[in-house]
Amino acid sequence: MVDTLEPMIDAPIAGQSLTAELGNRPWQQPPQYSTVEDALQYYIPRLTNPEMLDDLLNVMETGIPLTTLANAIQSSGVMEGKHSLDIGILIMPVLMETMAYLAEEADVEYEVGTNKKIGSDKPSQAAVANALALAEKEITKRNKEPEEEEKQMEMELEEPSVGLMSRRSTDGV
């Protein structure tokens, strides 16, 4: 284990969850929207709201990926008690796709945050390398096949023996 001099401030303080009465926090209450459709009906109008949209496009222009934005949006929804964490994770792809749509509509460049661009026709480097390896294997296989065929042809075309005890040819000659 690596010892760091700086304290880890990423984790919650021990007992932090006990600093408020159980049920006082919004996320400890039943969620307001219990289905993905309800949650999306809450989010989509908010994302397309002109005031919100300007800020969102500005943030996208700065290069913050859509994955981070979708994570932040759904996390705030969970903290406000709008929906459960499960619903939040389920709706993230729809939020990302909606934001990508809005960005392209406004002609704003954006970063998706996934390895490959969503919906892109361009294959990944791994897929290209795999395809090349398969093609190479296929080519070597095809090059080998004619050699084997030639050998077989040569075997068939061998001159028949003319000895007295040799088998007669099938055509009766």
Partner 1 sequence: MYNAAFLAMNNLVMPKSTEPKKQMGTSLLSRNVAKNGTPKEQDVNQRIAKYVSIIRKDRMELKNG
**Site residues for partner 1 per CB under 8 A:** 36-37, 40, 66-68, 70-71, 89-94, 96-98, 100-101, 104-105, 113-115, 118-119
**Which is closer to partner 1, CB of 16 or CB of 115?**
115
Other beta carbons within 10 Å of 64: 15
Residues 6 or more apart whose CB falls under 8 angstroms from that of 89 comprise 74
Closer to partner 1 at the Cβ: 57 or 70? 70
DSSP class of residue 26 equals G
Q: Report residue 79 as tokens.
A: 């903290």
For the record, the structure tokens of 78 come out as 């969970």
CB of 86 to partner 1, least distance (A): 9
Q: Judged by CB, which is closer to partner 1: 23, or 63?
A: 63
Please, which residue, 25 or 116, has the CB nearer to partner 1?
116
Q: How far is the CB of 62 from partner 1 (least distance, A)?
A: 18
Least Å from the CB of residue 89 to partner 1: 6
Query: Which residue, 114 or 125, has its beta carbon nearer to partner 1?
Result: 114
Please give the structure tokens belonging to residue 129.
């390398």
**What contacts 85, CB < 8 A, 6 or more positions away?**
78
Instruction: Classify 33 as helix, strand or coil.
Output: strand
Shortest distance in whole angstroms from residue 156 CB to partner 1: 48
Q: Could you tell me the smallest distance in angstroms from the CB atom of residue 119 to partner 1?
A: 5
44 burial (CB, 10 Å; 0-12 / 13-18 / 19+) is: middle
In whole angstroms, give the CA distance from residue 138 to residue 147.
15
Radius of gyration of the chain (CA): 33
